[in-house]
Amino acid sequence: MERYLHLNSWLKKKFGQRVLKICVDGGFSCPNRDGKCGVGGCIFCGESGSGTLKRQLSITEQIQNHLKSYRGERAEKFIVYFQNFTNTYDSLENLKRKYDEALFCSDKIVGLSVATRPDCINEEIVGLLKSYSDRFFVQVELGLQTANDETGELINRGYSTCTFEKAVRLMSENNLDVVAHIMVGLPNETMEDLKQTVEFLNSQKIAGLKIHSTYVTCGTRLCQMFEQGEYVPLQLEEYLDAVVYVLTHINSQVVIHRLSGDAPKEQLVAPIWNAHKKLVLNGVDRILREQNLVQGQFYEKKE
């Protein structure tokens, strides 16, 4: 029995077979790093963003390397995932060139997933993304992290929760799937903040959710805060309880893409449990099973 709507199961049902993501580095930057709206990025973000830098390879080379490594053993259909930094932060011409290269380099590609910021979404970009939806599955991943704007300022997010709301509205009006990112264990956040974030998400038209643990990596502002005693990461059990709360209170129709962030092990400072993904997955499954809980069990629809 699946106790929450897992991405892999949802994709298999949608496409009739297993579908995997291919992570691609499109060579993008971020307005929160180059000075447009800030410098240094969010306090938890390292020099490589949320993925591994592969900028010495073209988009086609990255995808072909992935396809060769799978050799048809795990899947035959793939979604290209532009992951690193802000993947709508470029001219419309360059965005189209990069998306086209990714989508049309192999007939095994069935979808496009773009990670970005809500302040880098506008009508022209939404129009470009929508133009692919007749032939490909298209989804946009938006970082929210928290609905608390005070925390947003503390983590140097660079945009308001209202900006997120406007971006979601624009994309939902154009029938684009939105996947929201939230982070559990941000500095100064309490369980009440998490509850308010979940309540906010339930008021938005999101199709998917990524739940990230807040981890400390070397060279970040958060690492400085940790070393100076200004930030204490959550213990594993605290994190598990928080994830279970999110799952049981989020709309049951929301697809769960992730239950924890994956820190680069060579850069991880704390918490150490973050390096062991199965501790989180197995821990959440155990709590849900032992307490007979399912996704959306305590969801309350707001009129």
Q: What is the pLDDT of residues 215-268, one digit of tens each?
A: 999 999 999 999 999 999 999 999 999 999 999 999 999 999 999 988 888 999
Question: Among residues of the chain, what percentage have pLDDT more than 90?
Answer: 83
d(CA 246, CA 184): 10
List C-alpha distances in Å: 87 to 40, 116, 123. Answer: 17, 5, 15
pLDDT over 60 (residue 50): no
In this predicted structure, the answer to whether residue 52 has a pLDDT above a threshold of 80 is no
End-to-end CA distance of the chain: 31
Average confidence (pLDDT) over 206-218? 96
**Residue 303 maps to a domain:** no
- 109 within 8 A of 79, measured Cβ to Cβ: yes
pLDDT for residue 54 = 59
Taking the CA atoms of residue 90, residue 39, residue 45 and residue 31 in that order, the dihedral angle to the nearest 10 degrees is -20
pLDDT given for residue 75 in this prediction: 83
Residue found by looking up tokens 């900006």 in the block: 163
**Domain assignment present for 297:** no
Cα-flanking dihedrals φ and ψ of residue 164, to 5°? -60, -45
Report the number of distinct structural domains present in the chain: 1
Q: Which residue has the higher pLDDT, 29 or 274?
A: 274
Mean pLDDT of 202-211: 98
State what percent of residues in the chain have pLDDT above 70.
93
Is 249 a domain residue? Answer: yes
Query: pLDDT per residue over 56-72, tens digit each?
Result: 799 999 999 989 887 65
Q: What is the CATH number of the domain that holds 79?
A: 3.20.20.70
CA dihedral (73, 76, 82, 83) positive or negative: negative
| pLDDT score of 85 more than 80 | yes
pLDDT on residue 39: 63
Q: How many CA atoms lie within 13 A of 267 on its CB side?
A: 20
| 302 vs 281 pLDDT, higher one | 281
**302 assigned to some structural domain:** no
In a domain, 244, yes or no: yes
Provide the pLDDT for residue 55: 65
**Token match 């991943």: residue?**
141
Highest mean pLDDT, choosing among 33-42, 63-72, 167-176: 167-176
Which is more confidently placed, 128 or 49?
128
Model pLDDT for residues 111-129, shown as the tens digit of each residue:
999 999 999 999 999 999 9
d(CA 138, CA 103): 11
Whole-angstrom distance, CA of residue 260 vs CA of residue 233: 14
**Is there a domain that residue 299 lies in?**
no
1: in domain: no
Give domain status of residue 198, yes or no: yes
Beta strands at 268-270 and 216-217: parallel, antiparallel or unpaired: antiparallel
- Domain of 51? 7-290
